[in-house]
Amino acid sequence: PLEPIVEAAHAVDAAVIVDAVSSLGGLPLPFAKLGIEAAFSASQKCIAAPAGIAPVAVARSLWESTDPKTVEGWYLNLYTWDRYEREWGDWHPTPTTISSNLFYAFHRALLLLKEEGLEARIARHAKVAARLRDGLGQLGFSPLGSANLLSNTVTCFAPPASVDANRLVRRLRDEHNIYISGGLGPLRGKTIRIGTMGTQADPEIIDWLLKAIRASL
């Protein structure tokens, strides 16, 4: 949960920048209510657009309290993007030439999100994640973390002791054309990670995946 993190950070006058890459559009993110200073995400996750656009939000308090002269870099400098939007907004609102297809696709994805409704999309992600967790539990998998801390967009589970995680990932890829990920760092070879974001947050897809996992054990 973000609440205690934000509270602890603000207690020592630290700004909070949230990595919402795998959560924006799939989990609640009450930016203003929490008092978050900034957040960033990615277009290809829960928003379900092609990769290539990184939505960024910055609170006015942080924006106005930062001296642009102290910010290094050019392309990744948000003040650069702000200046081009203000000065060239009517014909070239970005500092470099970017594929217009990405913006059209991103706009379409946002329209689809609006049509579905943000609360409905968040609920869909929660329902599908619960379906996946229940199915994995029935197959003997164990969640990494307590129930109240599990994400509804990325599921990380440890397989039964008799199952090699890396081998399972390979079998799903080679025999079922399904791509999931293994664990990272100290969890490498010990866990599997499954994304349920955007169009992949679908009960039929989850049932198909669980059937393939069962056949690959």
Over residues 21-73, the pLDDT tens digits come to 999 999 999 999 999 999 999 999 999 999 999 999 999 999 999 999 999 99
Give the confidence band of 1 by pLDDT, cuts at 50, 70, 90.
confident
pLDDT 10s digits, 144-192: 999 999 999 999 999 999 999 999 999 999 999 999 999 999 999 999 9
State the average pLDDT over residues 88-109: 95
Task: Determine contact, residues 38/15, Cβ cutoff 8 Å.
Answer: yes
Task: For strands 38-40 and 17-19, give the pairing.
Answer: parallel
Task: Determine contact, residues 8/183, Cβ cutoff 8 Å.
Answer: no
Q: What DSSP string runs through 69-106? A: GG---STT-HHHHHHHHHHHTTT--SSS---HHHHHHH
Q: What is the pLDDT of residue 8?
A: 98
Task: For strands 154-158 and 142-143, give the pairing.
Answer: antiparallel
Mean pLDDT for the chain overall = 96
Q: Which helix (H) or strand (E) holds 107?
A: helix 100-116
Q: What is the pLDDT of residue 77?
A: 95
pLDDT at 13 over 90: yes
Task: Determine contact, residues 196/48, Cβ cutoff 8 Å.
Answer: no
Q: Which helix (H) or strand (E) holds 143?
A: strand 142-143
**What is the spatial distance between Cα 125 and Cα 120, in angstroms, rounded to a whole number?**
9
What structural domains does the chain harbor? 2-116 (3.40.640.10), 118-216 (3.90.1150.10)
pLDDT at 207 over 90: yes
